[in-house]
Amino acid sequence: MPPYRYQVGQGDQRNKLASSYQSLLSEFSSPELTNVGNYSIGKLIGKGSFGKVYLASHTLTNGSKVVLKSANKDDANLAREIHHHRQFLHPHIARLYEVIVTETLVWLVLEYCPGDELYNHLLNNGRMEPAKVQKIFTQLVGAVSYVHGKSCVHRDLKLENILLDKHGNVKLVDFGFTREYQGSTSYLQTWCGTICYSAPEMIKGEKYAGEKVDVWSLGIILYALLCGELPFDDDDDSTTKTAILKTDPVYPDHLPQPAVDLIKKLLSKRPLLRPSLGDILKDPWLAEHAPQQQEVLKLQQPPPFTTDLEKDVLERMRSAGVDIDMVIENVLSQRCDGLAGWSNAKNAEESENDVSVKRMPNLSVASVQLAVAFLHLVRSTRWKKAWSLDPREQEVDR
């Protein structure tokens, strides 16, 4: 007869196997989705006609938080959104880390912004103090200027598409209606966006200059931030449209006059009278924060894989046995796959900001994903023993 300890050990093993088997059956039979790719799905934080939005965490690193946004494969705007968003690298545009295609859905892995939407912020707290609005609005103008500089227009600027990070900085999202734009000689004609943010010429069904409808929407947003409500908003859409076409906003007495002057320029019924994004950044009311945004817009990005930092990253990856040719092809073609997904593996948001913003002058758009991804990869517990970070990177971690 086997010893008692052996019998107990066998019993424990059988119990563990049975428990594991039951857990597997429960996972198969559960209607709730628990994992997508390398991400563990958390709570539902939003839903709409596009699909659902979840808070999630990366399972292969330190559990860094991301946002998973689902969309149907037949979504007409999905390909456009991914195509444009993956090209945008700006401190006030939320990063698109990865795209995961499943049998039924496409999942966008996005930067997590714990500060929530500006819409919810106003709903819960009311209007903002002018000093805070100056900072937020200037950052938003900087982000939109960057998009326009890429020969694109957003066309869906609204409070719901502006998030705040944990430091209260702006992160622009949702590029489903973004369109290539050739400048002042090119006009668009498709109506899109939300009525209460729509410019008069768009409501009339006229051809419109894309950058001018974005400027109008910025005026609506600025008014809402300062007043706590939209200037043109009614439960009846036709009433809202009439107000946009025929009336002017009511300006409360508490608004600073320089802010009122700026809003009036942005909300001119005549598109040609609305200022350019560059002129908005020169407005005296935004003078405190505009220089920073102007400097970001001036940054010149070198050709891919030509900087010392990028060459060093590639060499260290080669030493680790990584197929460098595949990595270069991956990054140059802007594939938002698992490699790009590593960039969400942050030990701290400050280190992410340091890599992607402070070093941005030394990185190309194509290779910044590689640099950020690898710098975070070597910081993870699994790789720290194999790599010694240089003093510059060690300082970032502290």
User: 356-377: per-residue pLDDT in tens?
Assistant: 444 444 444 444 444 444 444 4
Q: Name the average pLDDT for the chain.
A: 80
The torsion region of residue 268 among left (phi > 0), alpha (psi -120 to 50) and beta comes to beta
- Centre a 10 Å sphere on the Cβ of residue 56 and count the other Cβ atoms it contains: 27
Question: Is the full-model pTM beyond 0.85?
Answer: no
**Catalytic sites, residue numbers:** 156
Question: Is 166 annotated among the ligand-binding residues?
Answer: no
Residue with tokens 């598109």: 271
Q: What is the pLDDT of residue 334?
A: 62
Alpha-carbon span 40 to 33, nearest angstrom: 9
Q: In the chain, where does the domain assigned CATH 1.10.510.10 lie?
A: 116-298
The CB density around residue 186, as the number of other CB atoms within 10 Å, is 13
Paired residues of 46 in beta bridges? 53
- Pairwise CA distance, residues 163 & 140, whole Å: 10
How does pLDDT run across 120-153, given as a tens digit for each residue?
999 999 999 999 999 999 999 999 999 999 999 9
Q: For position 22, what pLDDT does the model report? A: 63
d(CA 77, CA 339): 24
Question: Which of residues 198 and 19 earns the better pLDDT score?
Answer: 198
**pLDDT of the residue at 349:** 36
Which helix (H) or strand (E) segment holds residue 73: the answer is none
The answer to whether residue 331 scores a pLDDT higher than 80 is: no
27 marked among binding-site residues: no
Instruction: Check whether 346 is labelled as a binding-site residue.
Output: no
**Choices 1.10.510.10, 1.20.1260.10, 1.10.4160.10, 1.20.1090.10: CATH for 116-298:** 1.10.510.10
Of 149, 260, 271, 278, nearest to 198 (Cα)? 271
Most confident option among 33-42, 83-92, 386-395 = 83-92
Q: Looking at residue 4, what is its pLDDT? A: 54
Give the separation between CA 369 and CA 331, rounded to whole angstroms.
Answer: 7
- Tally Cβ neighbours within 10 Å of residue 201: 19
Helix axes 290-298, 130-149, angle to 10 degrees: 20
**pLDDT tens digits along 190-218:** 888 899 999 999 999 999 999 999 999 99
Decide the pairing of beta strands 51-58 and 65-72: antiparallel
Q: Is residue 241 part of an annotated ligand binding site? A: no
Dihedral, CA of residue 30, residue 74, residue 339 and residue 371, to nearest 10? -130
- Express as a percent the part of the chain with pLDDT over 90: 51
- Structurally, at CATH architecture level, domain 35-111 sits in 2-Layer Sandwich (3.30)
Question: Looking at residue 103, what is its pLDDT?
Answer: 86
Is 60 exceeded by the pLDDT of residue 397? no
Distances (CA, A) of 58 to 55, 217, 345: 11, 35, 7
Annotated binding residue 161: yes
Q: What percentage of the chain reaches a pLDDT higher than 70?
A: 73
333: pLDDT strictly greater than 70: no
Q: What is the pLDDT of residue 340?
A: 45
Q: Give the model confidence (pLDDT) of 289-326 as tens digits.
A: 999 999 989 887 667 777 777 777 778 777 877 677 77
Label residue 389 exposed, middle or buried (CB < 10 Å: 0-12, 13-18, 19+): middle
* In the chain, ranges of CATH 3.30.200.20 domains: 35-111
Residue 380 has pLDDT above 50, yes or no: no
